[in-house]
Structure 1
Amino acid sequence: MSTPSRTAAAAPPAERVEAASTQVTSSDWDEVSALLSEAYFPHTLTPVSPRGVPDLLANCATLGPIRLARMEMGADVTVDSEHPGGYAINVPLSGQFVSVTRGIEVVSTVGQATVCPPDTATSIVEWNRECEILGIRIERQDLDREIARVDESGSRLPLQLDLRTPEGASWIRLVHSLAEQLGNDSGLLHNPLVADQLAGAVTTALVLAATPTIEAPAPRPRIVKRVLDAMHADPGRPWTAGDMAECAGVGIRRLQEGFRTYVGRSPSECLLDIRLERAHADLLHGEPRRTVTDIALRWGFTHTGRFAAAYRARYGRSPSQSLRG
């Protein structure tokens, strides 16, 4: 007997000028899909067992352009969605939550959050009956605009957030506080100006939690930004000082002076940071068959000993320790 799948209709656009909170329950799979689609994202929901009976309990709230949905399924399910138009940040409050995005498996437990990018296929391959999720939906235009404000290099959110860092803990405390106030039907939050301001605070705090070392940069000349953009786009390229200067359209000395003035670091130091960040992500969430050497070479490290030393200095552990988890 095949397991039924439930495809929910597209959710309506998020309201930007009001705050509201509702609680829904259901023990019918079709109704579960419809309710979660309206509260969160359209999706295809599949119960793991054809005999599984849902026991949905969901507390849903809207705060300007942000939606909050605290969800318990009461049964084991899988979910497929492309999260049209918005980011989904799924925070396990209990149990374990496993998803796959761009071929990368992300396993989140309490103290972590899974980020599902907008308009990108994501499969939740494990959402069991013991797992309660706090889902935060943020419209793509709002979060992308805030990312651009904080980090002009054009980086994107990682697929997982650590909520045990000071920045991560601060963000999730703010989310919990707002969810509680919405649940108590706080009249103040129904003021459109207050709702939008608080939603903006949540978005900004999320970006700072995802990129805790980034501060608002001083304006940089075009030559510096051009090289940084190129290094972010292809960090594994065997960059030379001449390559960087050619990319900027200036001499090597002028390029180095520009980096010292506007970034406070040399171009090669910036490239090392970018490569370490990419290698770190691959070690934690990359393909299981890759070795440390494979990952080092992929991101432009031709000397594994120097890579290991730089990685340990940056992250406090060896690459092999990160690869083993």
Structure 2
Amino acid sequence: MAQLSAVPGDLSKLTTLVHSNDLEETREIISHAYSPYQLDCLGDSREFSAWYAESGFPGITVSGLSYGSPRLDAETLIKPQPLDSYLLVCEVIHGRVTVTSPGREVCCVGPGETYVLDPYRSFQVHWSPGARMMTVRLARETVERAAADALGLDDPVRARFALGGAISPQAALTWAGISAAVRREVLGEGIAGTNPLVSTHLTQTTAALLVQTQRLITNGVDPQRTGIVSHAAVRRVMALVEERAEQPHTLTDLAAAARVSPRALQEAFRRHLDTTPLGYLREVRLKRAHQDLVAAGRDGSATVSDVAYRWGFSNLGRFAAYYRERYGHPPSKTLSV
């Protein structure tokens, strides 16, 4: 399993919700924060201790959690109920944990390694003394919308994840990058907590990279994932351009509307339409300009420059070159016919 990050950030900056040697107090508080769960100290109960803290911004919660002490012998076993409404991406910082999904998988995870707990899985986690981890929490709906986008589907899909970590060392590095960005926003008190546009974009990007980098399982759907966003994002941009071709779109604007990164949108357009998003926008605008020039040729309602500016062509020479390449003659000829 590939390591993701060696520097988790200063988790002491999170808001501490429990720091206790009491099993019942810990169970009550963490059950409320996550989901109801069974908590057992495997050894001398006097050696039990727990720490849990969290902070975040709208869409993402970052948590820190540890059980026991590396100087003592007591291990800890937790058996939560399925998470139901959210997913957890868990990264071990110190010690080791063994994650077991009954009847399915067993995964031993060490420092710098991650695993994903989806909303549907039953599981238990065996903590070595003093083990500590950081988690990133995302809403189920956010991830399942991102999974549908990755699979080219219009409706959200029931997304499951294998326990084995990222799909490749390169994917692990990509996830490490977005995880570090999220930590910086939370632990460094970035602007995502007060800027809805930033928090929404970062949440959607995190969900998209989760389904592209981790081992996604879907029932009844063959993902055939290639790392390239599928045609659902292309359809969104095509619809936007057809409806509002006259507006000053940028690649960043179009990617935000498609809920993917600009690079992923570029790759998707090349794959499915053999063009770029801005190339498609230009073709739509040229078609609309041609229609207006034909109409203006009949009633004299506009000039070439009027039509060019109306459809976002601020450089008349460039507009004429595009138009000649597309229609085989200059725009002035269409106007004069």
* 1:157 partner SS: strand
Q: One-letter code of the match for 1:119?
A: Y
Question: Per the alignment, do residues 112 and 98 of structure 1 end up closer, same or farther by CA in structure 2, a change over 3 Å counting?
Answer: same
Q: CA deviation at 1:189?
A: 2.5
- Asked if structure 1 preserves the Cα contact closer than 8 Å seen for 2:117 and 2:161, the reply is no
2:212 to 189, 200, 208: 208
Provide the C-alpha distance between the structure 1 equivalents of 2:33 and 2:63, rounded to a whole number of angstroms: 7
Question: Per the alignment, do residues 136 and 187 of structure 1 end up closer, same or farther by CA in structure 2, a change over 3 Å counting?
Answer: closer
Question: Per the alignment, do residues 21 and 96 of structure 1 end up closer, same or farther by CA in structure 2, a change over 3 Å counting?
Answer: closer
Provide the C-alpha distance between the structure 2 equivalents of 1:147 and 1:192, rounded to a whole number of angstroms: 22
Q: CA deviation at 1:187?
A: 4.7
Query: Structure 2: any 5+ residue segments left out of the alignment?
Result: 1-12, 69-73, 216-224, 233-270, 273-337
Residue 195 of structure 2 is matched in structure 1 by 191
Provide the C-alpha distance between the structure 1 equivalents of 2:143 and 2:174, rounded to a whole number of angstroms: 18
Question: Per the alignment, do residues 27 and 187 of structure 1 end up closer, same or farther by CA in structure 2, a change over 3 Å counting?
Answer: farther
Q: CA deviation at 1:164?
A: 7.1
Residue 98 of structure 1 is matched in structure 2 by 98
Provide the C-alpha distance between the structure 2 equivalents of 1:139 and 1:160, rounded to a whole number of angstroms: 21
- Asked if structure 1 preserves the Cα contact closer than 8 Å seen for 2:120 and 2:160, the reply is no
Provide the C-alpha distance between the structure 2 equivalents of 1:128 and 1:164, rounded to a whole number of angstroms: 27
State the number of aligned residues. 203
Q: One-letter code of the match for 1:134?
A: M
Q: CA deviation at 1:216?
A: 1.6
| Bigger Cα Rg | 2
| Structure 1 position 120 matched with structure 2 position 121 | yes
Residue 85 of structure 1 is matched in structure 2 by 85
Question: Superposed, which structure 2 residues align to 1:140-289 within 5 Å?
Answer: 140-152=140-152, 156-162=160-166, 165-210=169-214, 213-218=226-231
* CA offset digits 1:140-169 (Å, max 9, x no partner): 111111111112486742222138722222
Provide the C-alpha distance between the structure 2 equivalents of 1:26 and 1:184, rounded to a whole number of angstroms: 26
Provide the C-alpha distance between the structure 2 equivalents of 1:142 and 1:35, rounded to a whole number of angstroms: 26
* 2:48 partner SS: coil
Q: CA deviation at 1:188?
A: 4.8
* 1:213 partner SS: coil
Normalising by structure 1, report the TM-score: 0.55
Superposed CA RMSD:
3.1
1:68 to 51, 55, 62: 62
Q: CA deviation at 1:50?
A: 4.6
- Asked if structure 2 preserves the Cα contact closer than 8 Å seen for 1:77 and 1:128, the reply is yes
Question: Per the alignment, do residues 66 and 188 of structure 1 end up closer, same or farther by CA in structure 2, a change over 3 Å counting?
Answer: closer
Residue 275 of structure 1 is matched in structure 2 by none
Provide the C-alpha distance between the structure 1 equivalents of 2:183 and 2:101, rounded to a whole number of angstroms: 27
Question: Per the alignment, do residues 111 and 185 of structure 1 end up closer, same or farther by CA in structure 2, a change over 3 Å counting?
Answer: closer
* CA offset digits 1:262-310 (Å, max 9, x no partner): 8xxxxxxxxxxxxxxxxxxxxxxxxxxxxxxxxxxxxxxxxxxxxxxxx
Provide the C-alpha distance between the structure 2 equivalents of 1:36 and 1:49, rounded to a whole number of angstroms: 21
* 2:45 partner SS: coil
Per mean C-alpha deviation after superposition, the further-off stretch among 159-168 and 140-149 is 159-168
Question: Per the alignment, do residues 132 and 115 of structure 1 end up closer, same or farther by CA in structure 2, a change over 3 Å counting?
Answer: same
Normalising by structure 2, report the TM-score: 0.53
Provide the C-alpha distance between the structure 2 equivalents of 1:163 and 1:179, rounded to a whole number of angstroms: 22
Residue 228 of structure 1 is matched in structure 2 by none
Q: CA deviation at 1:84?
A: 2.2
- Asked if structure 2 preserves the Cα contact closer than 8 Å seen for 1:112 and 1:162, the reply is no
Q: One-letter code of the match for 2:173?
A: A
* CA offset digits 1:116-159 (Å, max 9, x no partner): 221321111x2122321112222211111111111248674222
Q: One-letter code of the match for 1:215?
A: I
- Asked if structure 2 preserves the Cα contact closer than 8 Å seen for 1:108 and 1:160, the reply is no
Q: CA deviation at 1:98?
A: 0.9
